[in-house]
Amino acid sequence: MLILKNVDIFYSRVHAVRRVSLHVNQGEIVALIGGNGAGKTTLLTTISGLLRSSGGSLHFDGQDITRLRPEHIVAAGISQVPERRLVFKPMSVEDNLLLGAYQRRGLKMRNQIQQEIRQVYEMFPVLGQRRKQSAGTLSGGEQQMLAIGRALMAKPRMLLLDEPGMGLAPALSQMIFRHVVELRDAFGLTVLLVEQNAKCALRIANRGYVMETGRIILQGSSEELQLNRDVQRAYLGREVEQQ
């Protein structure tokens, strides 16, 4: 569904992503793991069109999205949940959700959009209880739910999730990960998941890629990566016996 080929991304002279190729099949959760500064967020932000690659190509559902503007990438069916959630704090929960459907405004979709807001509240009941409350007063976990709900309001076929577990208590981040699985299983969503918490990410993903200093250094099924000694040592916090 998503195919990246030899993608290069620069910030002025900083070569943040180096000839990265990866793909995500329809209905998969694919984890992109790696340490600080590996280039994970840069890659996601380029897929959503907010950054431009300077080499290589990006295709989504057969369409070349390499040079598409962000709003056209959203319209094509890709929605990003940004790192640190970035909800609109002074606005109410419900207005944040409505903004997620901004592209579909004026399309005589009012009833449809209200119905979708109700579905978000069914998935995250706490958001329904706080619908009039300003988003900035929500807890970190609730803001993460809102950021996911807002992304869903664009009716995506693919979600790009940037560190959804960041800064959350373990039980809360488990709950967010369970919802990600539910989005794949119940709604057929395809997910590219960036996570520093490799253990949680590989537990729910079908496949994964490991990124270091701008490059993909390893790829495989979640089982293969979980059994890989380098991954265990570097990302799963396991002591590996010397051979």
Q: Residue 78 corresponds to which tokens in the numbers above? A: 């890709």
Q: Does 46 bind ligand ATP (CB under 6 A)?
A: no
Query: What ranges make up the beta strands (E) of the chain?
Result: 2-11, 14-24, 29-33, 55-60, 63-64, 78-81, 158-162, 190-195, 207-212, 215-221
Q: Please state the three-class secondary structure of 62-120 as a single string.
A: CEECCCCCHHHHHHHCEEEECCCCCCCCCCEHHHHHHHHCHHHCCCCCHHHHHHHHHHH
Q: Which stretch binds ligand ATP (CB under 6 A): 38-46, 63-71, 118-126, 227-235?
A: 38-46
Distance of closest approach, residue 109 Cβ to ligand ATP, in angstroms:
34
Q: Are 131 and 124 in contact (CB under 8 A)?
A: no
| H or E segment to which residue 171 belongs | helix 170-187
Of 14 and 240, which CB lies nearer to ligand ATP in the complex structure? 14
Of 36 and 243, which CB lies nearer to ligand ATP in the complex structure? 36
Among 4, 18, 41, 156, binds ligand ATP (CB under 6 A): 41
Distance of closest approach, residue 242 Cβ to ligand ATP, in angstroms:
29
Distance of closest approach, residue 37 Cβ to ligand ATP, in angstroms:
4
Q: Residue 103 corresponds to which tokens in the numbers above? A: 């592209």
Q: Which stretch binds ligand ATP (CB under 6 A): 40-48, 54-62, 89-97, 152-160?
A: 40-48
Q: Which of residues 137-196 bind ligand ATP (CB under 6 A)?
A: 196
Of 128 and 140, which CB lies nearer to ligand ATP in the complex structure? 140
**Footprint of ligand ATP on this chain (CB under 6 A)?**
11, 14, 16, 34, 36-42, 196
